[in-house]
Structure 1
């Protein structure tokens, strides 16, 4: 059995159980799905209980930056790059409403969007700089840098956070496992860790985490906007 087959068997043992009836196979598939659902639900609850206060604090800091004209720049590798793109599009083009009012669009983009830039930097300089070079070109004091990773060890993210901090950006890291090397960085303003050994569960919980961060940020901005007319009236 190849390493790939062994990994698949550990995830979906019912597919490797030999001959079985369809009903038994469906029962095992249903159980596997429910077990994974229960696992990620518990993980999301753990993250919410542990990080709830800091998420609200981070949202207020992000709202401060947006109010002052700052932008959000998101980045990550592999599956985390698609999460970075999803995060950026969530802020830039929200499709939900708050109290019947469409959520406001906020300036945000992902550093993985331009494949020409990514491949040029990777080929001509090195993959370690694909994010830090872009932050050096586009980032400015008052912006927000959000990096996503499952391991917390990606060299290009570590380097990017250093560049973002030097430019006065608010730095937000989202990692898995125990936070990896990102947990050792002094330049991170906020680090949110999803404590799991499973890449699948980490990324599922991270999605919930940054959606919560977006909602909290929008809520802060909405509350401030509603309070402003009342303060002017006084």
Structure 2
């Protein structure tokens, strides 16, 4: 017996809703979001910049977040300085060619970030080697880092200062929650910093 295409959509929607409800009820993750948000607010109030990185769909999420901060999310206000480490093809290809793909983010942390800046890593698995190296570089430089991940945060969980974990086992479900978290982050920043 075949199912309709709409049945597939319903299944995805049910999984998405179930994971989001689980996240909503997780007080530990709500507290983690609070702490990470305070770190971002403090960064901006002290004149710092937010740098963001991820691979694949998470790279798109990094760029999405940077765009919302530099342009606007829900209200007109001054631009917030943010940059995704995934957008400069010359830097990405040079580092990949000369050092290897595992170094594409850590070299940018080293070359672009200064004390008071903040690094936000997005990875559904928490095991991307280039994210791990970037978090290690943040530690070496004394820079605050936030990890937005899924499952248990993988190897990256032990390297980040702040950890926010989405619920669910499917990459797509985790990515959907990451977008909700990113939008909540933007909304919170706008209302906290600009009233």
TM-score, normalization by structure 2:
0.92
Deviation of the 1:153 alpha carbon: 0.2
C-alpha separation in 2, matches of 1:194 and 1:86: 18
In the alignment, structure 1 residue 132 sits paired with structure 2 residue 127: no
Find the counterpart in structure 2 of residue 47 from structure 1: 23
Deviation of the 1:35 alpha carbon: 2.0
CA deviations on 1:58-91 (whole Å, 9 max, x unpaired) are 2122111101110000001111111111111111
Aligned residues: 193
1:1-234 aligned within 5 A: 17=2, 28-50=4-26, 51-97=29-75, 102-185=76-159, 188-223=160-195
Deviation of the 1:166 alpha carbon: 2.5
C-alpha separation in 1, matches of 2:115 and 2:147: 18
TM-score, normalization by structure 1:
0.77
Cα root mean square deviation, aligned: 1.7
Q: Which has the larger radius of gyration?
A: 1
List runs of 5+ in structure 2 lacking aligned partners.
Answer: none
User: The residue matched to 2:177 in structure 1 has which SS?
Assistant: helix
List runs of 5+ in structure 1 lacking aligned partners.
Answer: 1-13, 18-24, 224-234
C-alpha separation in 2, matches of 1:103 and 1:45: 32
The runs of at least 4 aligned residues of structure 1 exceeding 4 Å deviation read none
Deviation of the 1:147 alpha carbon: 0.7
8 Å Cα contact 1:71-1:143 kept in structure 2:
yes
C-alpha separation in 2, matches of 1:165 and 1:219: 30
User: The residue matched to 1:192 in structure 2 has which SS?
Assistant: strand
Pick 1 or 2: higher relative contact order, CA cutoff 8 A, min separation 6: 2
